[in-house]
Chains A and B, each alone.
Chain A
Amino acid sequence: MNVINLLEKKSFIKYLPFFLIVLSISISSTIFPPRGYAMTIPFIPIICIIFWSLLIGKNLNIFQYFLIGIYTDLLLGTPLGSYLLIFSILRYLSIKVKARFQIDNFFKNIIAAFILIIIFFILSNLFFMIYYGKLIFSKYLILNILATIFLYPALAVVFLWIYKITSIEKYYVEA
């Protein structure tokens, strides 16, 4: 019985980043944006995705990315496959960044995340411009980018705390 419990706990903790990302996407979609800012709030899904990609890299596997991408598309009402495509490219980039620049401390993580967030918005803008055939640019897009960048450190602290108290790394090493 204890062995089964241990195994269940182990597999749950292994998938904790995935569940946290799904939960934060769901919660962020239920937050009513403050009035007067054209429904602009920080794009929380990308904060979670970048943080966990930079921290656990390939351990957030392709199938989990597939589910996250599809879930985001369906929840936000964007064309099916759009965020899946952007997140896939971003996963590839964040793993490359992690490997090349040895992201091993919090400060480096934040710098890398800032760059990846900007890349994400450039990719999204390019994609939606091509898909809709319209120029998407407003002062609220800039606000969206800035709000996402400035919220990143606050959420990163919370996620890092979860990462440390659950010792997620240990489970991946064993795997």
Chain B
Amino acid sequence: MARSVNRTYLLRLTSYAKEKAHGFGTTILIIFSVLLLVMGKINEESLRVFKSYFLDATSDFLSMIGKPVNSLSDGFYKINDLVFLYSQNNNLKLENQSLNKWKDLALKLLAENEELKKLLKTVNKDHEKSITAKVISNSGGSYIKTITINVGTNDGVKLGNPVTNNWGMVGRVVDLGKNASRVLLTVDINSQIPVYFENSLHRAILVGKNSDLLELKFLKKRVVLEDKERLMTSGEGGILPRGLPVGIYSSEINYNKEKMLVIPSENWDKLNTLSVILYDYNKKL
């Protein structure tokens, strides 16, 4: 009898101890995560080395497991393309016709520009080098919009380098490893880019909204803006080069005058192959 009582008591004691240990463990975990967050907020540099090691360590693994997943999604896209083949072909023919006109105009303007440069004896601005990068992974959530690309310091990439697609800028490098980097997309809530309007030259700051639109801030009041005008990086602050297209202003989406919205670079969410502009801001400064 006494032995069974002892055993029940022991079992109760064990389960009580386990319950307490579980609660204690969770508390420790919460405290530790808060400490990590505080540490990251106070001194971001302290965690940067750790993050860059992680980027390098996981880039090969992610590329490997991403291959079957991406080939599957590529297959779906190809089927989709086949369905819309006829209409796409018609659209491309029309686009080609209009592009031919633009090509003629561009060639004329190029020749004219060269002649004027010769007359003015201007020094040619050296163009920035760029490298092609493949997207390895993406954040794919609502709270952060980042991607990881397969180029890093070994390829000459620097922190803050702009990442572009064939239309314009889609993001900039925020974490750097030897063979991989993390890119903060322009649509992310933490992205803020100094810009100017291509024709009217008004200046503003372009802010991400974690959505498919960007918001313009600090634009002067009572300014006249052209529809379909491009927004270019102003290069203020020195980190980004001047003159990269980031978005298009459209009066169609700006019926609400309190918030100025901008359409980001075309195909910003087509994440496959991108270019990194190897801009050395230290050299420029």
Contacts and interface: CB of A to CB of B under 8 A. Distances in A.
Contact of A39 (B18, B61, B140): B140
Interface in B128-179: 135-146, 148, 174-175
In this complex, which of A23, A27, A30, A58 has the most chain B Cβ atoms within 10 angstroms of its Cβ?
A30
Q: Chain A's interface: helix, strand, loop or mixed, by majority? A: helix
A33 B65 CA distance: 16
Contact of B143 (A28, A31, A66, A124): A124
A32 B65 CA distance: 13
Contacts of B185: 39
Interface stretch (A100-108, A134-142, A154-162): A134-142
Interface stretch (B106-114, B242-250, B265-273): B265-273
Given A38-B269, A39-B138, A144-B141, A81 B65 contact: no
B189 A85 contact: no
B11 interface: no
A108 to B, nearest CB: 22
Contacts of B174: 77
Interface residues of A, number: 51
A84 B35 CA distance: 11
Interface of B: 18, 22, 25-26, 28-30, 32-37, 39-41, 47, 50-51, 54, 58, 61-62, 65-66, 69-70, 73, 135-146, 148, 174-175, 182, 184-185, 187, 189-190, 209-212, 267, 269-272
Given A78-B144, A84-B33, 14 more contacts: A26-B61, A26-B62, A26-B65, A30-B70, A30-B138, A33-B140, A35-B269, A38-B212, A39-B269, A62-B29, A76-B141, A77-B174, A81-B40, A144-B141
Interface of A: 23, 26-33, 35-41, 43, 58, 61-62, 65-66, 69, 74-82, 84-85, 88-89, 91-92, 95, 124-125, 128, 131-132, 134, 136, 138-141, 144
